[in-house]
Structure 1
């Protein structure tokens, strides 16, 4: 955080700070003395140098998810990747196409699905089970003879649950459909192997990975590439799937961020797991903190906590802790979290829920400060209730 600020950052699921090693690589691709050329300019060294850096970054991204470099298509972020995957498939479906997703997806999926419904494509929204997970059996029951594509996130952005993608893939492919995965919250937090997991299309973003905002990618398996229609036209870049001048500095930043994640993910996860457990152990005796989807398979980075405490509001923590009361997209809309209501919370409980997300720069001191802040707020609320306020 900025110098002099007492605010501790616990909103890594919304965005991450750019790693200094990433920004250093990016700066080398911006000024007159750097590699600033247009990667599409093949007639001179400046363009060729930029192209070489772009392709190196493409390989770095591919390595992290065990893909081939030519299966990586650059986009502006996971939202665009989601739109390209779903709309691109539906457009090439030769008539009405049935789609399947879940009720707890990111708004970038749900709003895209709503748009496709208006175009005449029916969509089935699978409910989560009691643990907050999407059950393979529920997805299987939603499939129809005309199902073309199923879209499920690997890690939920609000509650941190993991989806059993390999099992989903087996079910989806057996029905003759293809599988799209929104992996924006998963990249760099859990191992991904697109081939062994059976993923056909996958959306990823750099800014959840200590890279820059405004850059992401869509993994497009070789066997489905011809089934996706471009949504941006004008030059035929990226194998004709996504036109537009490539932002070399942002792409280089994403590549370096992915390379760092490949090297440091396991150590980061181990440290974050310990911090997660330290926090939960410390607040257990308060008797009012309920972790949502606590028994589901999950990543340690994201904690969704409902406080069973009259008079509590998330803003009571905001002077000391940068946290969310919901995902960034729902927060902007001023609406209750659709994820929390889908897993069974009523509107009142959802209004008393906070999301703390930990990351690379979270320290034990930060966690201890968060514990102290939460204890102080619980004490304040109890004193107010006792005083009849």
Structure 2
């Protein structure tokens, strides 16, 4: 098996799985219970929070655990809107955000919020001037992802933070789900107020994530209940998932130090190989792009046709983001970049992990070339 769909989800570290199982077997008490068994589970969550905070370079009181990136994004967007609606009802985001941000801001429109969607250039990068021009006195939130989940473009987060530093009434949210462990981000230094993370994108367990909330920022909770997570995220905590998340984050950041150059080499090898194949166009930019994502299209084929074709050889990749792939629609990100409908419909995404090997990259390219040529012959015969 050659797994090249790591932006959809990653294989959990054995150590993270072990932590998850051990906690659920031996420390399964409700962390809110007042007996000592519950207290031990609560202590583990506190230690995990401090570990995550230390790895992110923030304070423990600024880390709130959620069920994943989607909940973190919704809490950041809707929590800001409801908390500060009397301050203003204007939100700025981009046309290439993850559906959990796009749909969250759309949900706010019936409540009197106005949304400005800034565009991107042919590389999928936001124009700072467009954000600056869109800012208004009633702008309460700017939400921009750090790394685009489909094409891998890195957005100018620090520059946006600098643009907003003299606007204390405008909060800055960053969806860093795809960037975590690949592209460093100094949250305080970049002026980020809110930041979303997801465990299963960094070899942790599905169903766990986190939202960084800068000290002093207040949010309205989405969930009402037992007032866990500082009353911001009610619901019995996933103790095992949280502990496994802390373990995975530590291991992933350590792997970055050791394996990033190898990942970059493999990405470059695949990019070079793709550029030599017939009918192929690479859409991921060569600069300002993450080291683990490559988006390309094959003229004449729908993306899902090639996904299924490679699937027969035990090679797994994707079309658009996993959250949108079953809708069979052209990639909105590629369309925003000016890519034609035909190309956007035929796009594919390769996403690497620090465990991807050069041999796997070679086998992928060789198989892809054979499948392209085979399918082209079949198409010619059918005409």
Instruction: Tell me, yes or no, if the aligned pair for 2:256 and 2:354 is still in contact at 8 Å.
Output: no
* Structure 1 residue aligned with 2:58: 67
* Structure 1 residue aligned with 2:253: 262
Q: Which among 3, 6, 10 is matched to residue 12 of structure 1?
A: 6
Q: Which among 349, 356, 359 is matched to residue 355 of structure 1?
A: 349
> How far apart are the structure 2 equivalents of 1:274 and 1:114?
40
| Deviation larger for 147-156 or 301-310 | 301-310
Q: Is 1:250 paired with 2:244?
A: no
Aligned runs of 1:174-213 on 2, under 5 Å?
Answer: 174-176=166-168, 177-213=170-206
* Structure 1 residue aligned with 2:46: 55
| Deviation larger for 215-224 or 57-66 | 57-66
Q: 1:296 to 1:145 in 2, by over 3 A?
A: farther
Instruction: Tell me, yes or no, if the aligned pair for 1:40 and 1:51 is still in contact at 8 Å.
Output: yes
Q: Is 1:319 paired with 2:312?
A: yes
* Structure 2 residue aligned with 1:219: 212
> How far apart are the structure 2 equivalents of 1:105 and 1:200?
18
TM-score (norm 1): 0.93
Q: Is 1:76 paired with 2:59?
A: no
* Structure 1 residue aligned with 2:152: 160
Q: Which among 96, 119, 134 is matched to residue 104 of structure 1?
A: 96
Q: Give unmatched runs, 5+ long, in structure 1.
A: 1-6
Q: CA deviation at 1:174?
A: 2.7
Q: CA deviation at 1:153?
A: 0.3
Q: 1:140 to 1:293 in 2, by over 3 A?
A: farther
Q: CA deviation at 1:383?
A: 2.9
TM-score (norm 2): 0.94
Q: What secondary structure does 2:92 align onto?
A: strand
CA RMSD of aligned residues (A): 1.7
Instruction: Tell me, yes or no, if the aligned pair for 2:284 and 2:296 is still in contact at 8 Å.
Output: no
Instruction: Tell me, yes or no, if the aligned pair for 1:272 and 1:358 is still in contact at 8 Å.
Output: yes
> How far apart are the structure 1 equivalents of 2:15 and 2:278?
42
Q: Is 1:169 paired with 2:171?
A: no
> How far apart are the structure 1 equivalents of 2:114 and 2:257?
40
> How far apart are the structure 1 equivalents of 2:275 and 2:187?
38
> How far apart are the structure 2 equivalents of 1:382 and 1:213?
39
